Amino acid sequence: MYVVVQHKILNPETAFPRGQALIDGIGAPDGTRVLQFYPHVDGSVVTCLWETTSIEDVQRFADATLGDSSVNICYEVDSENAFADRPVGLRPSSAPAA
């Protein structure tokens, strides 16, 4: 399944270094990896797309990793109606394949 996480960043100086573990998949639950990372230019919000077997796994992983530096809202993507194409100018993910 695919899950979107919307991170409301409360403390960018803390959230972004901690968030590198999410990007790198350090401590990620089995079958869970981030596919896309979209930070706002001012660092106040980040939206990510995840591939996972459990929305709860992503919620727990984001909450535990980011702690009080971010409020994280997770929801399952309606795969039947969603679509995607990699926009020109964005680099491919460096995250390990699951």
Is 46 a member of any domain? Answer: yes
Percent of the chain with pLDDT over 70: 94
Does the pLDDT of residue 98 top 60, yes or no? no
Q: What is the largest CA-CA distance in the chain?
A: 37
Is 94 a member of any domain? Answer: no
Segment 56-85 shows an average pLDDT of 95
Q: From its phi and psi, is residue 18 left (phi > 0), alpha (psi between -120 and 50) or beta?
A: alpha
Domain containing 19 equals 2-76
pLDDT recorded at residue 29: 96
Is 96 a member of any domain? Answer: no
What band does 9 get if pLDDT is binned at 50, 70 and 90? Answer: very high
User: pLDDT for 14-59, tens place per residue?
Assistant: 999 999 999 999 999 999 999 999 999 999 999 999 999 999 999 9
pLDDT recorded at residue 90: 73
Is 89 a member of any domain? Answer: no
Average confidence score pLDDT of the chain: 92
Which residue(s) pair with 2 in the sheet?
A: 51
Is 11 a member of any domain? Answer: yes
CATH at residue 25 = 3.30.70.100
Which residue(s) pair with 75 in the sheet?
A: 4
Count of domains observed in the chain: 1
